[in-house]
Structure 1
Amino acid sequence: TPYLPAPLWAMQAAALVPAVLCLAAGRRCLKHAAVIVTPVGVEILPFLRARRAMQWFFWQQIRSADREGGRLNLRLADGSTVAVSLRPMTSASRDMLAHAVRQRVNTLQSSGYGQA
């Protein structure tokens, strides 16, 4: 029969709420990338097509780093700038990441490491 008892309608509606939340979270994740700071450099791993779009910047390539709002800007030795969105992170985490990258770049530049 086309008639469904009320509990079954409630179960279907209850299943839609987590589905919509998961879709919204997935959409948000696709817009942003993961930033991984390693002893070798900074790795930017996007959530969409990670194999093709992954970028790796060695510390010697980075001339300066600064944070503008929800973005981390990496200025490279070849004159280009890479902007990475940090919006999924908390404000404190953004500050710590930007500080860590800035300190590492400043330390390497003051020591002269990687310069010919």
Structure 2
Amino acid sequence: MEVITIQNEAMQTLLKSNAELTQKFGELIERLETALSGFAPSNQIANPLEWADTDQTCKMLNISPRTLQKYRDDSVLPFSTIGGKKYFKIADIKHILEENYTAI
């Protein structure tokens, strides 16, 4: 183990600098939080766990992308398109599964 010694005056200078940096960092965090709070209320941001893309939906339903396209074309499963990418509500997927459930 290596022991490093430092003069008391130098240590006090380091501690003062650290305290000043900590205070400035705290002020920057507060300013950032204030600036970001005006963008969008958190209740308006979509929860990514509520939506699935095409690949995820195909895996959930154990179907091919072509079958999923047929479901979209036939209005079996509602979807949203953003930038050419399709998204499906997980609640809608669950509803389709429940609606077509048959007990043996």
Q: TM-score, normalised by structure 2?
A: 0.31
- Structure with the higher fraction of residues in helix conformation: 2
- Structure with the higher fraction of residues in strand conformation: 1
Q: TM-score, normalised by structure 1?
A: 0.29
